[in-house]
Amino acid sequence: MDLGINGNTALITGGASGIGLATARAFAAEGCSLVLWDLSPNVASVAQEIADQYGVSVSSSVVDIVDQGTIDSAMQEIVATGRSLDHLVHCAAIGSGKFGFPFTNLRPADWGTTLQVNIQGMVNIAHAVTPHFVQRKLGTFVFLASVAGQIGSQTDPPYSASKAANINFAQCMAKDLAPHNIRVNTVCPGMVQTPLNQSVWQAWYHSAPDDEKLSYEEWAAIKIKNVVPLGRWQTCDDIAAMIVFLSSLRAAQVTGQTINVDGGFVMHW
C-alpha cells in the first residue's frame, strides 16, 4: 500500500530507542527524511545508522523536552536548514519508577517528575511545532500514550494519570487545529517489551514479598495471559506501523482519535 509520504520529513522525540526508534525506521522505510530528538547522546549514532541503512537524510539533536531552551534551539536548527516538517511523533516519556498499588504506597513528591516530563513535555513540543504546521496549513501529530491512560492502571498512578492527560490534550489540539488541515491522534500501546515496561516490573519486584517474587518473563507471561485477549506481546514495530499509518494520506480523515495497539487489552463497550 502506498502511504503517500515518500519524501516527507518526520520529527520524532525519543527517537534513539524503543518505540521511537522503531517509528524512525518505519518512516525511513517509506522514504521519509527524519529529525530525531532524544535526551540520550546516542541519538547521533542512531541517526547515522538509519541514514546508512535506508539512504535517507537523518539529522539529530540532544533535546530535553522539559527544557524549552533546548527545544527552541533544535527548532531553530531545523528552520535554518530550510527544511519543512510534515509529521511530529512524540514518544519521549518516563515512568515514576515506583510501584503504586495502592497509590498510598507513593508520596506526593513521587509524582512531580513524571507529570513534568510526560505532560509539560508534551505541551512544550506541541507549542514548538504547531506554529510551523499552521504556517504551512499542513501537518500531523501522533502522540504516544498508553492503555494505562484509559483504564487507571494501578501499577504506576503518576504514569497512568499523565497518559490520560496526553490523550485529553491531543483531543483539544485536534479540535483547535482541524481548521488548519492539521491532524492529531494518539496511539496507546498495551504490553510492549521496552525499558519502561521492565521498570514497572522492577518496581513491583522490589516491593513484593520474597516468596512471591517472579522474574520479568514470569511476571509478564502471567499478565499477558490474564489481560491480553490475543495472548501475546505487542512489539515496537506493531506500534510504529500504526503511527506511520495515522501520519499518512491513507488516514487523511482520521483526527482526534485514540487508537489502541494492545492485543485487545482495552475494549470499549
Q: Can 159 be counted among the known catalytic residues?
A: yes
Side chain identity, residue 113: T
The DSSP secondary structure of the chain, one letter per residue, reads ---S-TT-EEEEETTTSHHHHHHHHHHHHTT-EEEEEESSTTHHHHHHHHHHHH---EEEEE--TT-HHHHHHHHHHHHHTT----EEEE------SS--SSGGGS-GGGTHHHHIIIIIHHHHHHHHHHHHHHHHT-EEEEEE--THHHHT-TT-HHHHHHHHHHHHHHHHHHHHHGGGTEEEEEEEE-SB-SHHHHHHHHHHHHHS-GGG---HHHHHHHHHHHH-TT-S-B-HHHHHHHHHHHHSGGGTT--S-EEEESTTSS---
Q: What are phi and psi of 149, to 5 degrees?
A: -80, -5
CB 49 within 8 A of CB 26: no
Q: Which among 54, 159, 205, 216 is annotated as catalytic?
A: 159
Residues 6+ apart with CB under 8 A from 211: none
User: Which residues is 59 bridged to in the sheet?
Assistant: 35
CB 13 within 8 A of CB 231: no
Residues marked as catalytic = 159
